[in-house]
Amino acid sequence: MIELFGERQSDLLEWKTTSDATHCAARPRSPLDEPEPHVRVVRNVLSTVCVFLVAEANTTRCRLTRLMKVKGVDRTMLDEFDELAVDVLTYSVTLHRHATDGSWSEMFFPGPDHRHPAVAQGNTHISARSVTHVGRTRPGFERALDRFCHVARRVPAYRDFLAENGIRAASVRTPEAFAEVPVVTRKNYLDRYPLDALMWDGDLAAASIWSTASSSVGPPLFWPRSETTFDDSIEVYERVFRQAFQSHRRSTLFIVGFAMGSWVGGTYSLQAALALRERGHQVSVVTPGIDSDSLLNCLDRLAPHYEQTVLAGYPSFIKHVLDQAHGDLRARRIRILLAGEGITEDWRSYMLARLGPRTRPDCVSVMYVTAATGPIGHETPATIKIRRLARNNRALAAALSWDAASPPTFVEYNPNRCYIETLANGSLLFSIDSAIPLVRYRSNDAGSITTTDELAHALGKNARILDSPCPERGFVSVRGRTDDVTLFYAVKIHSESVQDALQRQPLANRLSGRFQLTTEVDDSFEQSLRLRVEVQPGKQMNHRLRTEIRDCVTAKLKKTNREYNWLHTTLGARAEPAVTLHPYGTLTTDTQHIAASRHSRN
C-alpha cells in the first residue's frame, strides 16, 4: 500500500527550493504553462502536505512493523493503520487535484454536505499549516498558528476567553489575523480561571512539577511543568553546556546558585543537570542555592576535584560570592551561567579578568528565562560579539534599534518552540506550548525580535560573525520592563509595595507621596538600592526620618516578597534601601514610581 503511494508521489511531485530559505515547497507538474497565482499558491501548499503525509505514513508503518516483530504486536493493528493511511492520503491527493483544476475553494470552504466524512465526523482536522498563505512569514509563525488552533479547541479557559472576545479560531489564518487575537495577561486570563481550566483538556494531573513566580501584587502564580516543557528547555541548557562549556568532554561540577524551593531557576537547573548526564555530559550537580557560605564551601572543597566548575546564579549574587572566594580564581577554570538579570559588557569583562586572561567571552553566558515560559534562549559567541561591536558602532546599534551606550541583553532562541511578537510599546508577547499553553502572553518584558536575515543585513560586512547562520533561528533583544518594577539582585520589587509602606502612618503625614527607587551600580559593579523620597512642606529632613522610611519599606518588602526576604537573610543590611530625602516639589510626578536602573532587566 505505502509503496503504491510512494510511486504516485514521484509521478505527482517535483521538489524545488524556494528563494525563501525558511521553507521548501513542492511544485506539481502541470500541463498549464502559467497557472493563476492563487491556484499556484494553494497547489504548492497542498503538494507539501501530500509529501509530508506520505513520509509520515512510511515512517509510522516502519515503526509498527518493528514493534510487530519485536513485541509481537497483532497484525490487525498494521492492517487498520493501512486502511487509515489510504483514507488520509486519498483525501490529500483529492485536495491536490482540486487545487490543480482550480476548484480548490470548495475544498477549503465547503458546505456542510461537501465535507470529507472523516472531517465531518470530527475525527481529523486540516492543520493550520494548510490554511496559511504561502508568504514570507516570520520563522515559527506556522507552528504558532497550529498551536493556537489546538489551544482554542482543547483548553477550556482559552476557548471561553476567545468566545468572550468574539474571536472565531477558524477565521485566524494569516499573520495579520493572528495579530488581532487578544493579548493574554495575568489579570485578564490567568487570575480569572481555575488552574485546571488553564491546562490542556482541563487535566491538572498532567503537571509533572509545579513552580512559583514571585509577586508583590497578589499571591504568587503557580506554573505547572510537563515533560514537553522540560524537554524543550533542556535543549537550551544542552546548547550552552556543549558549545560554551564543553561539558561532554570535561568533568564538570555544576553549582546551582539560583534560589531553590519552588522557584523556577533552581529546580530547572537541577533537572537540567540530571538530563545532561543522560545525554553524555560529564556533569555532577550540587544545589546550595542562594546561601553564599554553602556555595563557597562547595567551591573550596568540591571544585578542585573537577576539570571545570560551572557556577549558575543571578549576576549580582554570583559576583558577591566570587568577591568573597578564597585563593586565585584563575587557577580553578570557573565558568558562569547567568539568568534573572542582564549584564553590561563591562561587567562581563570584569568577571573574565577575574577568571583568567584566556577565558573566552562566552564562558560568562546569559540565559533568558521567565517563569511563564522557562528558558527561552541563550547568548552565543556571535550574539556576544555583536553586542560588543554595537558599543562602538552606532550604525549597527541604530539598525538594531539599540542604545549604543547600553546594548540590551541579546540571545538566540528557537521560534518554533517559542514564537515572540512585540507590541507598539515594546512589550514582548510569547506563544508557547507548555502545561499551561500560552498564546500572545504579555509578561511585561520589553524588547524586540530579529530574524537571521535581518541581522545579517544590519551587520553588513560584519555578517561573517554569524557562523553557519540558520534561517530558522531567531534573536530577541530584552531591554527591561514595561511595568513599575525594579530589579535588585534579580528580585522584582513592585511600586505598590513601596507606595503602601510610605502611605501608612506615622510616615504619611510627613511625606508628599512622591518617590523614586533605583538600582545603582558602582565602579566595582556592586548593586545598591536607592530610595528617593519627597517630604511635605515644613517637615524636617533628618536622620531619624530616613531611618523610619528605611525600616518601614524593608519590613513591607520582607512581608510581601518572599525572594526579597531570602535576599535580606543572605545580605542583611546591604539589601535595605539607602534613603535620600528631597524638599517638596523637587521630585516630578513622572518619576513618582520605581525606575529600574539601566544596568538591570528581567
Each residue's pLDDT tens digit, 396-405: 999 998 988 7
DSSP SS3 for 222: strand
Distance CA 452, CA 456 (A): 6
Higher pLDDT, 337 or 340: 337
At 149, the pLDDT band (50, 70, 90 cuts) reads very high
Instruction: Look at residue 413 and tell me whether its pLDDT is greater than 70.
Output: yes
Instruction: Look at residue 477 and tell me whether its pLDDT is greater than 80.
Output: yes
At 101, the pLDDT band (50, 70, 90 cuts) reads very low
Strand partners, 511: 535
Can you tell me the mean pLDDT for 132-149? 78
Terminal alpha carbon distance of the chain = 55
Given this model, what pLDDT does residue 293 score? 92
Instruction: Look at residue 62 and tell me whether its pLDDT is greater than 70.
Output: no
Domain with CATH 3.30.300.30 in the chain: 488-591
The secondary element (H helix, E strand) that includes residue 601 is none
At 523, the pLDDT band (50, 70, 90 cuts) reads confident
Can you tell me the mean pLDDT for 542-547? 91
Please answer whether residues 220 and 562 qualify as being in contact, where contact means their C-beta atoms are separated by less than 8 angstroms. yes
Phi-psi region of 330 (alpha: psi -120 to 50; beta: other; left: phi over 0): alpha
Higher pLDDT, 216 or 576: 576
Distance CA 352, CA 361 (A): 7
Q: What is the DSSP letter of 184?
A: B
Phi and psi at residue 573, in whole multiples of 5°?
Answer: -60, -20
Given this model, what pLDDT does residue 469 score? 65
Instruction: Look at residue 590 and tell me whether its pLDDT is greater than 80.
Output: no
Distance CA 496, CA 485 (A): 9
DSSP SS3 for 401: coil
Higher pLDDT, 585 or 145: 145
At 106, the pLDDT band (50, 70, 90 cuts) reads very low
Can you tell me the mean pLDDT for 454-464? 91
Could you please state the CATH topology (level 3) that the domain comprising 488-591 is classified under. Answer: GMP Synthetase; Chain A, domain 3 (3.30.300)
The three three-digit cell numbers of residue 417, written as one number: 518552540
HSE-up (13 A, CA, CB side) for residue 334: 27
- CATH (residue range 226-371): 3.40.50
Domain with CATH 3.40.50 in the chain: 226-371
At 53, the pLDDT band (50, 70, 90 cuts) reads low
Please answer whether residues 493 and 557 qualify as being in contact, where contact means their C-beta atoms are separated by less than 8 angstroms. yes
Distance CA 169, CA 172 (A): 6
Instruction: Look at residue 8 and tell me whether its pLDDT is greater than 50.
Output: no
Edge-to-edge strand list for the sheet holding 409-413: 283-286, 252-256, 308-313, 334-338, 364-370, 374-378, 409-413, 474-481, 438-451, 427-432, 418-422
Distance CA 1, CA 390 (A): 58
Each residue's pLDDT tens digit, 261-317: 888 888 889 999 999 999 999 999 999 998 999 999 999 999 999 999 999 999 888
Each residue's pLDDT tens digit, 232-255: 889 999 999 999 999 999 999 999
% of the chain at pLDDT higher than 90: 44
Instruction: Look at residue 88 and tell me whether its pLDDT is greater than 50.
Output: yes
The secondary element (H helix, E strand) that includes residue 379 is none
pTM over 0.75: no
Phi-psi region of 213 (alpha: psi -120 to 50; beta: other; left: phi over 0): beta
In terms of Cα–Cα distance, which of 216, 189, 191, 602 is closest to 427?
Answer: 602
- State the Cα torsion 350-380-240-330 to the nearest 10°: -20
At 579, the pLDDT band (50, 70, 90 cuts) reads very high
Highest mean pLDDT: which of 187-191, 342-346, 460-464? 187-191
The residue type at 95? L
Mean pLDDT taken over the chain: 79
Burial (CB count <10 Å: 0-12, 13-18, 19+), residue 500: middle
Each residue's pLDDT tens digit, 160-191: 999 999 999 999 999 999 999 999 999 999 99
Q: What is the DSSP letter of 538?
A: T
Q: What is the DSSP letter of 303?
A: G
Higher pLDDT, 192 or 596: 192
Instruction: Look at residue 539 and tell me whether its pLDDT is greater than 60.
Output: yes
CB atoms within 10 A of CB 352: 17
Residue whose C-alpha cell reads 556533569 in the numeric block: 283
Residues 6+ apart with CB under 8 A from 461: none
Please answer whether residues 241 and 247 qualify as being in contact, where contact means their C-beta atoms are separated by less than 8 angstroms. yes
Pairing of strands 364-370, 578-582: unpaired
The residue type at 518? T
Can you tell me the mean pLDDT for 442-448? 90
User: Using alpha carbons only, what angle is made at residue 143 by residues 24 and 188, rounded to the nearest 5 degrees?
Assistant: 155
Can you tell me the mean pLDDT for 12-24? 32
Phi and psi at residue 21, in whole multiples of 5°?
Answer: -70, -5
Higher pLDDT, 540 or 475: 475
